[in-house]
Chain A
Amino acid sequence: MGNRKATLLVLPATVISFFVVVGGLLAALMQSLGLLPFAGPPTLNSSAYLTVAPDLPSAVALSFGIAAASTLIAVIFGFVTAMLVMRGRFGGRLIAMVSTWSIPFPHLVGAASMGLLLGDAGFLARIFGTDSWPELVGGPAWIAVIAAYSWKESAFVALVVTGVLLTRATAYDETAALLGAGRLRRLRHVLVPLSLPALGVSATIVFVYVFGSYEVAWLLGRPYPEPLPVMALRLFSSASLSSRPEAAALAVVTTIVALGAAGLAALALRRVPLWQ
């Protein structure tokens, strides 16, 4: 009885999720295998995958690199922010306020702002002089892209970690201090382990999001080599009909890597000494 009611309650959410997640993925998969052509009879073939195969290693590596670097910076800056917010007082309140600012920024707008800041005619280039200004936007190191992602996501990580720490960390911090642990020891033996689950979950969400995200890399990146989503969208909107299955093949590959990363992270998180 209770079970049937429960099923009715989750039904609306799961039906539309099922349609979008499973339906969308199946359609993309069929498209990539030539089963949903724009014109002509459907034929099962792997030519789309074979066509994109040569570009895949560099695209996957690039997307992976951007996502890993952005996640690392976001986690470090986010944790530092959370620690400062936790200390309270004026500095903590200030940091809590300014980190909230990036939350309503759409990623695209964050990227545009980062372009205005870091571009070769950007605000920093104007301040520090033009001659030696490095190629941050569209450069080989993808610095503006990584900066835009980690700028927005560090605030996200900070919020998740403060949400977990604020309620319990002070009592544990005091307990550890009275057991003789100094500041650094408390950080290493108490605050980091307590934040680890929150850091792990938020890092996974950030990594998977950045890996499959398009607009920031498209706006601030360089034309070649391309990250997976950028290549996929270029093929998707290109004029030739044969490029649609190739775009779908890239979408399938991106999804597999993203889901794989999320799965691995879930397994790893299960081994972290969690609480409740």
Chain B
Amino acid sequence: MAVILPAPAESRKEATRNGLFASRRLGRWGRWLLVLAMTVWFLAPLLPLALWFFAERWSFPGILPQEWGTGAVQEALAQGAVPAFGRSLGVALAVMAVATPMGLLAARAFAFHRPHGAGFLSALVFAPLALPPFAAAFGLNVLFLRLHLPPMFGIVLVLAVYALPYTTFTLRVAYGAYECGFEDEARMLGASRWRVLSRVHLPLLAPALMRAAFLAFLVGWSDYVVTLLVGGGTLVTVPLLVASAAAGTGNDAMLSVLSVTAVLPPLVLLLGAAIHTRRRLGVRS
């Protein structure tokens, strides 16, 4: 689950009219060709998805759909897209609610204190990056069955552990740049410990907290293998619907509707965060 958020817009210093970057003849053409190639690379897979979404009939070898429409939406609804969406949302929000605060606490400990066995503890927190999720899920499947834990609980637990490296890392970096002087200053101005936490500490960390929460949400929202193995197929989320549609043939339109459904929520969050950041910066300057 290699995911990460773009650096906040404020850190992007634009190199305007820098003499080093002034284009010269060949260089300019080469750069534009590269820009074009990379744009095609990143956007190409989105194109058929968008076309299929609105295709009522698109038989081979037509380059564009023969009939446009939204019949595939009905099909997707009939497959149970709405309850699956709700279950996905539940899993993602639960993973976010578990992994963000735990990551915050761990990041604070690693940044400001030296817990006993810091090396081992951080290895444990970051181990999921190197541990194939299916391998952990195989063993836990047996454990959860023997312990009679409900599947939803197991899924959220495993996914939260897989989200922890991202939340901990994001917040650890934020604490690295965190200026303790602000807290001292607030204390000197007479703020109580809790006031400092709620009025100084958390607001200063808010951007990093949002990034961490988004990453945890994304881990929960995107998962397929853990939901399938730990849940034993009982908890049908959007990715499970996408998988069964993709494994079959002849329902590409419904597949694209389900795919768009699977992309939309994190995309909306991402755009919302970008707009929020820009607006905040706009107010400041």
Number of interface residues of A (CB under 8 A): 110
Given contacts A123-B48, A251-B134, contact A88 B160 (CB under 8 A): no
Given contacts A212-B131, A212-B135, contact A163 B246 (CB under 8 A): no
Q: Which residues of A contact B259 (CB under 8 A)?
A: 109, 112-113
Closest Cβ–Cβ distance, residue A102 to chain B (whole Å): 6
Contact indicator A12/B45 (Cβ below 8 Å): no
B197 within 8 A of A: no
Q: How large is the interface on B (under 10, 10 to 19, 20 to 34, 35 or more residues)?
A: 35 or more
Chain B 85-122 per-residue mask, 1 if CB under 8 angstroms from chain A, else 0: 00000000000001000110110111011111000010
The stretch of B13-21, B74-82, B201-209 in contact with A is: B13-21
Closest Cβ–Cβ distance, residue B280 to chain A (whole Å): 19
A238 within 8 A of B: no
Given contacts A3-B114, A113-B48, contact A95 B11 (CB under 8 A): no
Q: Which residues of B contact A96 (CB under 8 A)?
A: 6
Q: Which residues of B contact A80 (CB under 8 A)?
A: 34, 38
CA of A64 to CA of B188 in the docked complex: distance in angstroms?
Answer: 58
Q: Which residues of B contact A145 (CB under 8 A)?
A: none
B283 within 8 A of A: no
Interface residues of A in 244-276 (CB under 8 A from B): 247-248, 251-252, 254-255, 258-259, 261-262
Q: Which of B4, B41, B128, B164 has the most CB of A within 10 A?
A: B41
Closest Cβ–Cβ distance, residue B285 to chain A (whole Å): 18
Which of B35, B46, B114, B160 has a CB less than 8 Å from the CB of A113? B46
Contact indicator B125/A87 (Cβ below 8 Å): no
Contact indicator B161/A16 (Cβ below 8 Å): yes
CA of A151 to CA of B45 in the docked complex: distance in angstroms?
Answer: 9
Q: Which residues of B contact A151 (CB under 8 A)?
A: 41-42, 45
Given contacts A6-B113, A9-B105, A88-B16, contact A115 B246 (CB under 8 A): yes
Contact indicator A24/B127 (Cβ below 8 Å): no
Given contacts A18-B124, A116-B48, A213-B132, contact A28 B139 (CB under 8 A): yes
Q: Which residues of B contact A259 (CB under 8 A)?
A: 130-131
Which of A17, A202, A209 has a CB less than 8 Å from the CB of B124? A17
Interface residues of B in 199-243 (CB under 8 A from A): 218, 221-225, 229, 239, 242-243
Closest Cβ–Cβ distance, residue A191 to chain B (whole Å): 12
CA of A104 to CA of B222 in the docked complex: distance in angstroms?
Answer: 8
Contact indicator B35/A10 (Cβ below 8 Å): no
Contact indicator B1/A209 (Cβ below 8 Å): yes
A114 within 8 A of B: yes
B189 within 8 A of A: no
Q: Which residues of B contact A156 (CB under 8 A)?
A: 2-4
Q: Which of A24, A211, A251 has the most CB of B within 10 A?
A: A24
A142 within 8 A of B: no
Interface residues of A in 1-19 (CB under 8 A from B): 2-3, 5-7, 9-10, 12-14, 16-19
Contact indicator B121/A14 (Cβ below 8 Å): yes
Q: Which residues of A contact B265 (CB under 8 A)?
A: 104
Interface residues of B in 145-161 (CB under 8 A from A): 157-158, 160-161
Q: Which residues of A contact B21 (CB under 8 A)?
A: 87-89
Q: Which of B11, B105, B114, B247 has the most CB of A within 10 A?
A: B105
A72 within 8 A of B: no
Contact indicator B225/A215 (Cβ below 8 Å): yes
Given contacts A17-B127, A87-B15, A94-B35, contact A112 B115 (CB under 8 A): no
A103 within 8 A of B: yes
CA of A162 to CA of B4 in the docked complex: distance in angstroms?
Answer: 12
Chain B 36-50 per-residue mask, 1 if CB under 8 angstroms from chain A, else 0: 001101111111110
What would be 28 A-B contacts, judged by CB atoms less than 8 Å apart?
A12-B106, A13-B102, A16-B164, A17-B128, A21-B161, A28-B135, A28-B138, A31-B138, A84-B31, A98-B39, A103-B5, A104-B267, A107-B222, A112-B49, A112-B246, A122-B48, A123-B47, A123-B48, A126-B63, A130-B60, A156-B3, A177-B20, A214-B134, A232-B135, A233-B229, A248-B138, A252-B135, A254-B135
Interface residues in chain B, defined as those with a beta carbon under 8 Å from any beta carbon in chain A: 1-7, 11-16, 18, 20-21, 27, 31-32, 34-35, 38-39, 41-49, 51-52, 60-63, 98, 102-103, 105-106, 108-110, 112-116, 121, 124-125, 127-140, 142-143, 157-158, 160-161, 164, 168, 218, 221-225, 229, 239, 242-243, 245-247, 252, 255-256, 259, 262-263, 265-267, 269-270
Extra contacts besides A116-B252, A121-B60, A229-B132 (20): CB < 8 Å = A3-B114, A7-B115, A17-B125, A18-B124, A24-B137, A77-B41, A87-B15, A88-B16, A89-B14, A95-B38, A104-B265, A112-B246, A115-B246, A116-B48, A127-B63, A151-B42, A166-B11, A212-B132, A213-B132, A215-B224
Interface residues in chain A, defined as those with a beta carbon under 8 Å from any beta carbon in chain B: 2-3, 5-7, 9-10, 12-14, 16-31, 36, 77, 80-81, 84, 86-89, 91, 94-96, 98-117, 121-123, 125-127, 129-130, 148, 151-156, 159-160, 162-163, 166-167, 170, 173-174, 177, 183, 202, 205-206, 208-209, 211-215, 219, 229, 232-233, 236, 247-248, 251-252, 254-255, 258-259, 261-262
Closest 3 CB pairs of A and B: A212-B132, A27-B139, A6-B113
